[in-house]
Amino acid sequence: MRFFLVILLVILASCSNQTTHRQQSESKGANLCRYSKYLSVFKTKNGYWICIQHPDRKNERFQLKISSPANDLAVLSATHIGMLSALNEEQRIAAITDIRYVYSPKVKKRFQQKQVIALQNEQSMSVDQLLRSKSEYVIYSAFSGSFSQEKRLEKLGIHCIPNFDWREQSALGRAEWILLFGVLSGKVPEAIQLFRTIEQAYNFSKNPSIVSSEMISGNVTGDFWYAPAGESFMADIFRNAGLNYVYHQTTGTGSVAYSREKILKDGENVKIWLNPGFPTKKEIIRVHPKAKYLPFFKHSKIFCYTHNSNKYWELSTLRPDWLLEDLARIAAGKSTKDLHFYQEVK
């Protein structure tokens, strides 16, 4: 009898996995997401069903049924703050990682009023601090792989939701994660409408037929120059903006790493340099003295977002239409005053 009881317990445990939340038999409507490779959102009779595919493990899916909005959320990435802010739901943010990297004025004010707790680090955050925030969900980005506190938090009744917007290969796929935050905040119709507005504006701003002079992106870190690979979402935005990106034919969806010698050769005809990592030429030289020998340092137009990095990291994922508009104006040689994210580096 004991043997059969053990077998039954094993079967029940294997069925629950990450989801005592799973109810696969419940009827669901069509997936509300059309661009995302990893996020699916389904309307059900009593709420929404979230399914998140792991980018690297095809057999691993996170599934969660949400029947009512959350009162308190721990959001561990700037993009999460930006999406809740766009829905005017900052009051649901109870915990973040580091206030120094927050752009939202409302979240900063709530932090000053001690309504938001800073956890400092995704992997080594204080569980006691998180419990004090009364967060019902933790949304994390898994930049370092698995979330170290997940099992412990699940036992305490706090659901941990992975967010892979940063792994999407298209700009609209990244922005579509606004639907997840629509579900968590009870604002799915508003999230859908906002995404449609972004989608229309992004498609309207596409202008790949007007090709600029040669452009390079990236900067030196250590002994290598890191730049977006040709199949990445950023290279796709460059293409849609009409920028003639030097490495647009490279493969991969992440970054490419090249020696300084290769950059010197490939950059001979470059007229636009994007994302050097600093807001002034003086700072570029201070950190990378040899940058002054780059053929495009003196004679090209240089643009970066680092005069307000927090704004860029918090909002650019959700607003690829703004990002595309900035880059299209740069590509076309139009006035670059009052861009959404970028500023000329002088």
pLDDT digits (tens, 9 = 90+) for 84-100: 999 999 999 999 999 99
State how many domains the chain has. 2
- CB-CB neighbours of 134 under 10 Å: 13
Put simply, whether the predicted model's pTM sits higher than 0.95 gets the answer no
Q: Are residues 213 and 311 in the same domain?
A: yes
Show which of 202, 230, 253 is a domain's final residue: 202
Which residues sit opposite 75 in a β-bridge? Answer: 139
Mean pLDDT value across residues 154-160: 91
At 223, the pLDDT band (50, 70, 90 cuts) reads confident
**Does the CA dihedral 221-141-88-44 come out positive or negative?**
positive
Report the length, in residues, of the chain. Answer: 346
Task: Please report whether residue 46 resides in a domain.
Answer: no
In the block, tokens 């939340």 appear at 21
User: Which pair of tokens denotes residue 136?
Assistant: 């019902």
Q: Among candidates 219, 222, 221, 218, which has minimal Cα distance to 235? A: 218
Angstrom distance (rounded) from CA 88 to CA 106: 10
Q: Are residues 108 and 143 in the same domain?
A: yes
Task: Please report whether residue 28 resides in a domain.
Answer: no
Task: Please report whether residue 291 resides in a domain.
Answer: yes
Task: Please report whether residue 45 resides in a domain.
Answer: no
Mean pLDDT value across residues 41-67: 94
Show which of 179, 202, 225 is a domain's final residue: 202
What's the confidence (pLDDT) of residue 179?
Answer: 98
User: Which pair of tokens denotes residue 233?
Assistant: 């979402």
DSSP-derived secondary structure for 55-96: SS-TT-EEEEEE-S--S-EEE-SHHHHHHHHHTT-GGGEEEE
Element (H, E) at 191: helix 188-205
- CA-based R_g, the chain, Å: 22
Q: Are residues 264 and 148 in the same domain?
A: no
Chain mean position to CA 156: 28
What's the confidence (pLDDT) of residue 37?
Answer: 95
Number of H-type helices and E-type strands within the chain: 13, 17
What's the confidence (pLDDT) of residue 144?
Answer: 63
Backbone angles phi, psi at 120, to 5 degrees: 75, -50
Considering all CA atoms of the chain, what is the largest pairwise distance in Å, rounded to the nearest integer?
82
At 143, the pLDDT band (50, 70, 90 cuts) reads confident
Show which of 180, 202, 224 is a domain's final residue: 202
CA distances from 36 to 55, 100, 180 (A): 11, 30, 11
Angstrom distance (rounded) from CA 147 to CA 141: 9
CATH number at residue 162: 3.40.50.1980
Q: Are 98 and 116 in contact (CB under 8 A)?
A: no
Which residues sit opposite 244 in a β-bridge? Answer: 214
Q: Are residues 239 and 295 in the same domain?
A: yes
Residue 236, classed as helix, strand or coil, is: helix
Q: Are residues 198 and 216 in the same domain?
A: no
Q: Are residues 197 and 211 in the same domain?
A: no
Angstrom distance (rounded) from CA 74 to CA 80: 9
User: Which structural domain range is residue 188 located in?
Assistant: 69-202
Q: Are residues 145 and 216 in the same domain?
A: no
Q: Are 176 and 164 in contact (CB under 8 A)?
A: no
pLDDT per position as a tens digit, 325-346: 999 999 998 888 899 999 999 9
Mean pLDDT value across residues 241-254: 93
Mean pLDDT value across residues 37-56: 95
What's the confidence (pLDDT) of residue 20?
Answer: 37
Mean pLDDT value across residues 167-184: 96
What is the pLDDT of the chain when averaged over all its residues?
89
What's the confidence (pLDDT) of residue 336?
Answer: 86
Task: Please report whether residue 42 resides in a domain.
Answer: no
